[in-house]
Amino acid sequence: MSSLTDPPTGPPAGKPSRGAVAAVVVTLGLLAALTWALSPTRVHFTPAPLDPPPVDCPKVAREFVPSNVTEILDPPLTSLSAAQKNRALFRMNMEPCTCGCGLSVAACRVEHPGCETSKGLAQKIIAEVQAEKRK
């Protein structure tokens, strides 16, 4: 039987034993090794070259993005009412030009005023919008 004056024989209260600390360290080390071993292989990216691409490098065609052009000069839209002008501009902004520029018909008219393809498409759209009124 021990008395109140005998020193305690176990670890001090509130401090873990060395064996418990060692077990936690070993467990964490094993978990880290398992995580590293199970992680998927990492892709090794290389930075893009700083030199410009060579001249013979094929250009990638741009993806079509509708535009928001509010006025075109040629062909003129003066013969259309305000509602017809809005419908025509909406269609010209939403339809891609077939000349290969990757722009909408309206944007191609603004960026490349000499493009006969976009001019023909714009005239066709204007004629279709005018014909809608007659129906």
Q: Residue range 99-120: average pLDDT?
A: 88
Distance CA 132, CA 82 (A): 14
The domain ranges of the chain are: 82-134
Are the beta carbons of 67 and 90 closer than 8 angstroms?
no
Distance CA 88, CA 46 (A): 47
Residue 56 has pLDDT above 60, yes or no: yes
Q: If pLDDT is split at 50, 70 and 90, which confidence band does 79 have?
A: confident
Confidence (pLDDT) at 35: 83
Q: Which tops the pLDDT comparison, 84 or 55?
A: 84
Residue 29 has pLDDT above 90, yes or no: yes
Distance CA 127, CA 88 (A): 9
